[in-house]
Amino acid sequence: MQLTSAEIIVIIALTTIVFLLAPLFLLIYVKTSNNRKRRDLEEKHTMQLKFDAELLKTQIEVQEQTMQTIASDLHDNIGQLLSLTALTLSSINLNEPERLEKKVSQSLSLVNNSIKELRDLAKLIHGERILQTGLGNAIKQELDRLQKTGYYKLKVNNELINVNISSPKKDLIILRLLQEIINNVIKHSKATQLEFNMNIADEKVYLTIKDNGIGFDIENVKTKTDGMGLSSIFKRVALINGTIEINSTPIEGTIISLAIPYP
């Protein structure tokens, strides 16, 4: 079948249009793709800046928490021990040799206890370094400190102590999350018994904190401005791609479960 002149012209015109439009569409595609890649890079950069800012904030908060504990220990523990030592020494009467040995022995015991407390404080001052030995040890130190108050009966299952992998940035945020949860328990729960379970499985760290306190209405707390610090906790969990579940009812206590990809 022979093409007419008009059909040939149409074919040539269509072919020309195709050849002209193809580079144009290619240029548009390349430009769109580059713009999308640039936006992705900008979003990643923004997310990294937010993460770094939150990490710095977390470091400062951990340091502040450490300083508060040091100040409290200096005042409540070491200060009291040294005051008792001074009082015991001042009560020594050289004219009562039968009581002299007992007083000196008591003073030495108080001094030794003070030295032990100072050593514990020295470890606490280097709290960030303990994260280098693993998240499990950092958590252990935090719970030992809580146990030392004598206000709570603790049940602890810390399987993270024997874990050989680490993620320094996540470790710091997880430690701060634990501190925030413990602070909430101390301030609001009126609990007497606390249970902590920590383990790692399926490339995730699992933390469960349970108390026998008065509990709370989660939805009601979320509507408050401070929200018992829940907004900060939820934000930090999301920052490290974790999940959090809170089960609490008034009078029956609270269970907080965290699952965080690790390392």
What percentage of the chain reaches a pLDDT higher than 90? 13
Give CA angle at 153 (260, 128), nearest 5°.
45
Q: Is the pLDDT of residue 180 over 70?
A: yes
Lowest mean pLDDT among 49-63, 106-120, 249-263: 49-63
pLDDT digits (tens, 9 = 90+) for 127-162: 555 566 788 888 888 888 888 778 889 999 999 887
pLDDT, tens digit, 9 for 90 and up, residues 27-37: 787 788 777 87
Closest by CA to 159, choosing from 210, 205, 209, is 205
pLDDT of residue 226: 55
pLDDT digit string, tens, across residues 182-207: 888 888 888 899 999 999 998 999 99
Lookup result for tokens 């729960």: 189
Instruction: Name residues whose C-beta falls within 8 Å of residue 182's C-beta, 6 or more positions apart in sequence.
Output: 142, 146, 209
Amino acid 224: pLDDT: 59
Angle of CA points 23, 28, 34, to nearest 5°: 125
Under the banding of pLDDT at 50, 70 and 90, the label for residue 64 is low
pLDDT value of position 225: 46
Please name the residues in contact with 118: beta carbons below 8 A apart, sequence gap of 6 or more.
78
Lowest pLDDT segment from 18-32, 41-55, 85-99, 117-131: 117-131
Does the structure show a pLDDT above 70 at 234?
yes
Q: Model confidence at 252, in pLDDT bands (50, 70, 90)?
A: confident
User: Is residue 208's pLDDT more than 90?
Assistant: yes
Angle of helix 79-90 relative to helix 97-125, nearest 10 degrees, comes to 160
Between residues 115 and 1, which one has the greater pLDDT? Answer: 115
If you average pLDDT over every residue of the chain, what do you get?
Answer: 78
Place of tokens 């904030």: 57
Q: How many CB atoms lie within 10 A of CB 170?
A: 20
Q: Which residue has the higher pLDDT, 178 or 34?
A: 178
Winning range, highest mean pLDDT, from 199-208, 232-241, 247-256: 199-208
Whole-structure pTM value: 0.60
> How much is the pLDDT for 31?
80
CB 168 within 8 A of CB 262: no
Percent of the residues in the chain that have a pLDDT greater than 70, as a whole number: 78
Which of the four pLDDT bands, split at 50, 70 and 90, describes residue 9?
A: confident
Tell me which DSSP letter residue 225 carries: S
Model confidence at 123, in pLDDT bands (50, 70, 90)? low
Return the C-alpha torsion angle 242, 243, 248, 253, nearest 10: -40
Task: Count Cβ atoms below 10 Å from residue 130 Cβ, excluding itself.
Answer: 19
Q: What is the pLDDT of residue 243?
A: 92
pLDDT at 205: 92
